[in-house]
Structure 1
Amino acid sequence: MMKKTRRHYDEEFKKLAVDLAMVKGSLTSTANELGITPDILARWRRERLPQQDKNSSSRQQLSQEQQEIIRLKRELKEAQLERDIPKKGSRHLLQERREIFRFIKAHVAMFPVEKMCKVLKVSRSGYYSWLKQKPSKRVQETENLLKQIRTVFSASKQTYGSPRITQELLSQGIKISRPRVARLMRKAHLKSLIKKKFVVATTDTNHSYPVAANHLNRNFNPSQPGKAWVSDLTYISTSEGWVYLTIIMDLYDRKIIGWSLSQSMKAIETTIAAWQMAVKNRPITRNLIFHSDRGIQYACPAFTQLLKKHPLVLQSMSRKGNCWDNAVAESFFKSLKSELVYHQDFQTRAEAKQSVFEYIEIWYNRQRRHSGLGYLSPFEFNNGSLQNVA
């Protein structure tokens, strides 16, 4: 088991954590997901309250025109309900009432019962009578399993297929086979998001700086933490322009230990910033291979001199034109884009940064099950918890 280290949180991390808690509407759950205590997150929030109060006090009262817009939007929503209910319930319209009632029950959080009964041409009294009927033990068991499967599927941002959902249920003490999970997912029409073809985006290798040999040699499974780190850089589109994500991963547990999201490709904002976070989160205590592609951000003197300050670090680079030499880092970007980026339309760079923060710090590092780790998360793989510091 890896030795626990105290993590130091910079001001940017604190800001993103507070903003995420505001978006989620729950300080406690956000703190738990980030692996910090609610007291720490509450203190970070208090430190930002003066600025937030200043911003809120400057808001203007709603004008009559704005109130009219709100009213019209409400009426439009009613009209949309009349349109959307038949769309979602189309496969139930010609089936027996029991199937229609099941549809209504499954969508009570989305549509009013009275409206659904009217559109689907069943009586409310019939629906409520059906609700009172006690289902068989087998039906109850199936419904409970479906509920648990939906919960895991939703928590995975609709990215988990039957193998990962099965592992998650087994970890919760629920005995179930993968084929049964697959059958229930088909019955509930739950299908993991279709992954778009991932196009590898390499860094600029057209430079005259010296390049390092490939010392990693595709040894992607080191026996201890801190023996091999890999790094790469990709781009994310927003309505305000591109942002560039640089990550550093420890191959031992697949944890992202350092990352930066920048508006430029300069080394100071990409590789150097990610490296500084990585060495704070996981100090170098043994001989370490640091592997990347041949991009200018990794070969420039500003970065190579930074590595040389650590005598235990040996820089390694992929062979020319061979992306498989850095396959694990490329795999991370494939997951990030398939599970997050391709399904978002980021309006601002700040919005992209908040989403990437949540994806890395909560989902990928602490919750997502990795097939390369025996379907454990990096957090579970280390069988420990982060020690919190202010």
Structure 2
Amino acid sequence: MVQEKANYEVKRMARLLGVSRSGFYAWVARQAGQPGPQRRERDDLDAKVRTVFIESDEVYGAPRVHAQLAREGTQVDVKTVARSMARQGLEGISPKKFTPVTTLPGVEAHTIPDRVRRGWDQGGLDRCWISDITYLRTGEGWVYLAAVTDGHSRRIIGWAMDTHMHTAARLVIDTGRTIAEVARELGVGAQTLGKWVAAEHADQAGEPTGELDLDERAELKRLRRELADVKKDNEFLGKAAAFFAAKQPPQNGMN
């Protein structure tokens, strides 16, 4: 075909010999030491993939590289991009899903007695208050919620929220102030503040007390002298989250 190329059309010779024109041209390119059309196309894609990967600080995986190429006008499927990256030995970084932590053991192990023996209902209001901390996902990130429930009525009587879990004790102290205000409104008496479980949990929820400043240490010490310690109960966490969702309609991107 090469020898007769000057006398006959390549299209006609390819049809008569039962070969494709692209195959013929690829063979000619290989004979000349040049890559064929498919190889050039593949090399071009590899270069684009490598450029996007490097510009991402070598973080992007195939899906994000594919999305960036699409924005730049290169139309290929994500599997083709994945093969290109594998061919070049390029590996992205998949970030681990963030999960807030609400249990950070203290430096020294300790055990807090369960003075009510998990008997939350002590037969009347304000005899046993239960507190714990949970976290909620919002459109702007995670928020931490500390809530207090009366063991008899199972009513949420106070709560505090923060975007950072500085320490469990700090949130609990904030919650205590909220409870004092709510207690006055409900007429239950702020003097019962010392009855609720807030300073610590039997499972050592929150951060070590070494993170507290002097005023917070004093507040924590006072609460510890008065509290009736109990272990956390997931039922109350669920009620706290439900209460918060019902009382706070979505706003500012919150879900």
TM-score range, shorter chain: 0.3 to 0.5
Q: What TM-score results when the alignment is normalised by the length of structure 1?
A: 0.30
Higher helix content, 1 or 2: 1
Q: What TM-score results when the alignment is normalised by the length of structure 2?
A: 0.44
More relative contact order, 1 or 2 (CA 8 Å, 6+ apart): 1
- The structure having more radius of gyration, on CA atoms, is 2
